[in-house]
Amino acid sequence: MKKIGLFSIALLAMGLVSCNQDFETIFEPQTNAPESPLQASDVTVAASSATAINLADFIDEEAGTSTPIPVGTISVKEGAMPANTTLKAEVEFSTDPDFGEVITLEGNINERNEITVDPTVLQDKYFNEVTRNPASTTLYMRALLYTVTDGTSVAIVGNPKESKFAARSVTFSPLFKVQISPAYYVIGAAGGWSADGARTQKFSHSNKDVYEDPIFSIVVDTGGDDCWFAIGDDAALDAVASGDWTKLFGTKGASEDMEGNMDFRYNLGGDHSFHVLGAQKIRITLNMMEYSYKIDPISVADAYYVVGGLQGWSDSQKTCLFTPEEQKNVLSYTTKWTGAWDLKVWDANSFGNWDAAWGCVVDGDNSPSGALINSGAQAISAPSAEFYTFTIDMNTMTYTWTKLDNQNPTEYQNISLIGEFNGWGGDFELTQVTPHNWYAVFTQETDGQLKFRANHDWGVNWGYGNDKDWDVSESFNKIGTNGGGNIWVPAGTYAVYLNDITNSMLILAQ
């Protein structure tokens, strides 16, 4: 809630109670502001008898009319009002009984000395400064009184810090109905412009109450360098299936705006679709409390790296390479983690640029899963200091931790390469860069075959299929087997990785 009230001024406080009641006003004069010519002890306020405010009782939307909300009636001791002096009022509303944060409305004083507030102003301020949730809630109210002398000299009646008052509450029911649907979809982009296609492009949500968590997000394929799309809920997609496109959301700004506010097409009076150029994937984030959106292009890379505590947070050492899984753009890394600020993720195109690193929303989050972001990304922590597989899904921009059943995997003293490059008679050593992950940069002088092996012995060695089934010029990763076929490696320089738990082998040309 936005703080607007005047906290350095004195106030006449009153509560809304179930019967009319006069409250004694006990104030000390202010020393740092003009003193009112009207003494607080000469003023009382009879609070309204209402115990509830339902804006539907005060605003007629169809007629476009409204009725002032009564707050209370002012009584001034006879003869106490100075000459050429009138009263004005403000009314403070708060969800906090101590009025730590308030919204302030101008109070109107009519000829019967009744204080009222404009219900449409209250609606707008509550909507913009408190919440868009349409549920009824408890509000606390109080009035501030001022004297105006000769039409210009304004002074406060009393001092809020010294005042004694009986604050009362009312049940407040907003009139506005902020519509947040349980689900939203992208229509257009790679999914096409059919309702069925849109339902394959559903926004993710936390499954909390949508008024508590109004954030929805999705990562979609654009379907090309020139992407158009709109956004809708189930009702909008049902309408599209019947030929009515007006219930979709469009942008209130320019189609190419990457962030802004949106509204229904029937309010916008046209198509107003979103337009993104030159991106293979985009992440769309909605705040349905504000009807706002943000679009972030996503760099799709062939390789992703761990950067974090296990590799010294180095922005130059590409020693920890994710293993691609069977599903495209899903990758994993398995090791024993520290359980505290373990990592961020860099793609091969952005390695070394901290602004482009992927991470989580809350620094050190050790949740078992979460969303990946690369704007203000924070370090991700493992749930505990144990062996986990950390998996990233770059299709949905999410991550998960999976704890290994075996927390005592076989230890090897060394892992090395052996092959035609050394006549199958020696070993090119790899370095264990994180627990059970081995790395080296290796130059193959001429085309030839090689394998990985442990402890300089053939008892445990890693290959794939039959000899030459894996040509690293065609793919850089395979899952090895003990005694598998020799690997065909064309001449060149390679970054070489092996995980001795998952048997992941990666040979990436440099």
Average pLDDT over residues 145-154: 88
Kindly state the percentage of the chain with pLDDT values over 70.
91
Query: For residue 389, what are the CA distances in angstroms to 306, 393, 462?
Result: 12, 13, 21
pLDDT at 240 over 90: yes
pLDDT at 40 over 90: no
CA–CA separation, 175 and 116 (whole Å): 18
Res 167: pLDDT: 55
Average pLDDT over residues 149-165: 67
Res 397: pLDDT: 85
Neighbours of 73 (CB within 10 A): 19
Res 160: pLDDT: 52
pLDDT at 260 over 70: yes
Look at 18-22, 180-184, 271-275 and tell me which has the smallest mean pLDDT.
Answer: 18-22
Q: Taking Cα atoms as reference points, which of 298, 26, 253 lies closest to residue 157?
A: 26
pLDDT at 277 over 80: yes
CA–CA separation, 141 and 103 (whole Å): 10
242-245: list long-range contacts, CB under 8 Å, 24+ apart. Answer: 245/271
**Confidence bin at 297 (pLDDT 50/70/90):** confident
pTM, rounded to two decimals: 0.57
Report the mean per-residue pLDDT for the chain.
Answer: 88
What is the identity of the amino acid at 147? T
Q: Taking Cα atoms as reference points, which of 440, 342, 424 lies closest to residue 385?
A: 342
Complete DSSP assignment for 307-348: EEGGGTT-SS----BPEE-SSTTEEEEEEE--SSS-EEEEET
End-to-end CA distance of the chain: 54
pLDDT at 182 over 70: yes
Look at 161-165, 227-231, 396-400, 485-489 and tell me which has the smallest mean pLDDT.
Answer: 161-165
Separation of CA 128 from chain center: 19
Average pLDDT over residues 71-84: 90
Look at 56-60, 373-377, 417-421, 442-446 and tell me which has the smallest mean pLDDT.
Answer: 373-377
Residues β-bridged to residue 306: 345
Q: Give the residue, 367 or 33, on which the prediction is more confident.
A: 367
Res 2: pLDDT: 32
CA–CA separation, 368 and 390 (whole Å): 10
Q: Are 148 and 154 in contact (CB under 8 A)?
A: yes
Average pLDDT over residues 126-148: 85
Angle at 262 between CA 257 and CA 263, to 5 degrees: 145
